Amino acid sequence: VCPVVASCDEGTTPYRTMDGSCNSLYNPLYGTPYRPYRRLVPARYGDGVFEPARMSSGRPMPNARQLSVALFGETEVQDGRSTIINMQFGQLVAHDMSFTADVFGVKCCPNGKRIPPDLLPPRCMPLEVPPDDPVLPLEDIQCMSMLRTKTTLEYPCATNYGTAEQLSSVTAYLDLSIVYGNSVEQTASLRQHRGGLMSVEHRHGQDWPPHNPNASRLCQMRDGTDVCYLTGDLRSNQSPHLAILQIAHLLEHNRLASELSILNPCWDDERLFQEARRINIGKYQSIVYNDWLPIYLGRENMLAQGLLHKEAGAGEFIRDYNLLEDATVSNAFGTAAFRYFHNMIVGQLELRVGLPMVGEAFR
Ligand code: HEM
Ligand SMILES: [Ca+2]
């Protein structure tokens, strides 16, 4: 079903929509799922439309793994200041903003073993491991699974700009879509529909996200005691560290909804849900902008760029919302810039639970 242009009757709801539509009344679809990534510079495909770019000599680009090893090596550098949570919170933010549609689901290099080119599934472009690679051949890994994603060329709903454009499947806004999902229907399936609460399972004296009904497909389950959570984001089981942050934001929603219901006994389920969601998102955005981003961008730089403001006085507000601003994530940001943080992942992390394809791609 193709997304229809939302009609944003002002005043119908004071809350963020679940799919991010109507944030900008200038273009209600800015930042909504299943739209092409924005481009900072024009695409440069080999054939001008879809084929991978080539060097000016016409030869294929150098092997990406070879470049990675040559440029960054395989060393571990301990950070004297930050713990793993700095990296981990970033992954949560990344998942809130970007998820390339159809990036997973096809194995292009099963268990690290090469598939003969004529048997490769469509859209597969596995990355060959160079023979002199210092790490992967030791584990008998011949290649890494890489899948070219679906683009506007295949997706009938998206505007076709003539060249292939990749699509993001999540809201670009920092709206905790990782907790609440990306559409009205998805959110409805995650809610209890009473007391404004999100669905949870009570085990060992504590609340947890519900079991994922697609566990066998989505998670590597070693045995019946392994868990695979249902959250707003398909990637939430990728590592225990990521799952913990998903759980924290889910439980904070239910804590807020419960507190609000005591303070406001007349509020119905919808009001409690939306008000708790609004506060939860506000707190999270405050952490992103006031605490997390300054570590990397520098508070002074953020102030200079208008990403932060000098503290407003009591009762004062900053009104810098610009409805002409397109919040859509750019391809360069989702594909390159924001993955810079992959450099910060400590080498010995094990991805015991999680999407099998993710574990494989990451190796
Ligand atoms: C244990 C930590 C992490 C693991 C195992 C991991 C692994 C992965 C994998 C396998 C992908 C998909 C690769 C593909 O396109 O085929 C990916 C995508 C991505 N990662 Fe990470 N990552 C981690 C942490 C982070 C962090 C800390 C950030 C940023 C702060 C980040 C940002 C991104 C972004 C922006 C994408 C692209 C998402 C999309 O639009 O589809 N990741 N990561
Ligand atoms: Ca989002």
Q: Is 202 annotated as a binding residue?
A: no
- Rounded to a whole number, what is the distance in angstroms from the first to the last CA of the chain? 35
Tokens of 253: 């929603």
Residue 168, SS3 per DSSP = strand
Structure confidence at residue 362 (pLDDT) = 39
- CB-CB contact of 109 with 360 (8 Å): yes
**CA distances, 285 to each of 73, 105, 184 (Å):** 35, 31, 22
* Percent of the chain residues past pLDDT 90, beyond the cut: 69
Residue 76, SS3 per DSSP = coil
| Residue 229 bridge partners (DSSP) | 211
Q: How far is the CA of 235 from the centre of ligand 1 (A)?
A: 10
Tokens of 7: 């009609």
Least confident of 216-225, 234-243, 281-290, 349-358: 349-358
List pLDDT tens digits, range 198-248.
999 999 899 999 999 999 888 888 877 888 999 999 999 988 899 999 999
Q: How far is the CA of 301 from the centre of ligand 1 (A)?
A: 25
Mean of the per-residue pLDDT values for the chain?
Answer: 90
* CB-based pocket (< 6 A), ligand 1: 87, 90-91, 94, 98-100, 103, 238-239, 334, 338-339, 341-342, 345, 349, 351, 358, 361-362
AA letter at 53: A
CA dist 20 and 30 (Å) reads 8
- In this model, does residue 3 exceed pLDDT 70? no
Supply the ipTM of this predicted assembly.
Answer: 0.98
Q: How confident is the model at residue 4 (pLDDT cuts 50, 70, 90)?
A: low
**Alpha carbon nearest to ligand 1 atom 31, residue:** 91
List pLDDT tens digits, range 308-347.
988 767 777 888 899 999 999 999 999 999 998 998 888 7
Mark whether 95 is an active-site residue. Answer: yes
